[in-house]
Structure 1
Amino acid sequence: MSKFFDRLFTVIDKTAEAGARKTAMQTGRRSFLAKAGVALAGTMAMPLLPFDRSLGGLAMAATGAGGDVNDEYSCDYWRHCALDGNLCSTSGGTMTSCPPGSEASKVAWVGTCRNPNDGKDYLVSYNDCCGKASVASSTFCFRSERERPGYRMGLHNDINWCMANTNKGYHCTVSVVVGLADA
Structure 2
Amino acid sequence: MAGLDTIAERLTRGIARGTSRRSLLAKLGLGLTGAAAFPVLPVARAATHPEGPAHQPVTSGNIQDPGDRTSCDYWRYCAIDGFLCTCCGGAVNACPPGTEMSPITWIGTCTNPADNRAYIISYNDCCGTSSCGQCLCNRNEGDRPQVRTQSNNDYNWCLGTQSSIYNCSTAVIVGVALDTPR
Same fold by TM (over 0.5)? yes
Letter in 1 for 2:165: G
Return 5+ residue gaps in structure 2 as ranges.
1-49, 51-58, 60-65
TM-align CA RMSD: 1.9
What is the TM-score of this pair, normalised by structure 1? 0.61
Aligned residue pair count: 117
Secondary structure of the structure 2 residue equivalent to 1:163:
coil
Counterpart code for 2:84: L
Q: Map residues 24-173 of structure 1 onto 2, 5 A cutoff.
A: 70-136=67-133, 138-173=134-169
Q: Whose RCO is larger (CA < 8 A, sep 6+)?
A: 1
* 1:134 positional shift: 1.1
For residues 119-176 of structure 1, what are the alpha-carbon distances to aligned partners after superposition, in whole Å with 9 as ceiling and x for unaligned? 100000000000011123x100000101111111111001000033220000000000
Larger Rg: 2
- How far, CA to CA, are the matches of 1:139 and 1:77 in structure 2? 12
Q: Which runs of 5+ in 1 are unaligned?
A: 1-61, 63-67
Length-normalised TM-score, structure 2: 0.61
Q: CA offsets, 1:53-97, max 9 Å, x none?
A: xxxxxxxxx9xxxxx971111000000000000000001111110
**Aligned match of 1:21:** none
> How many Å apart are 1:106 and its aligned residue?
1.9
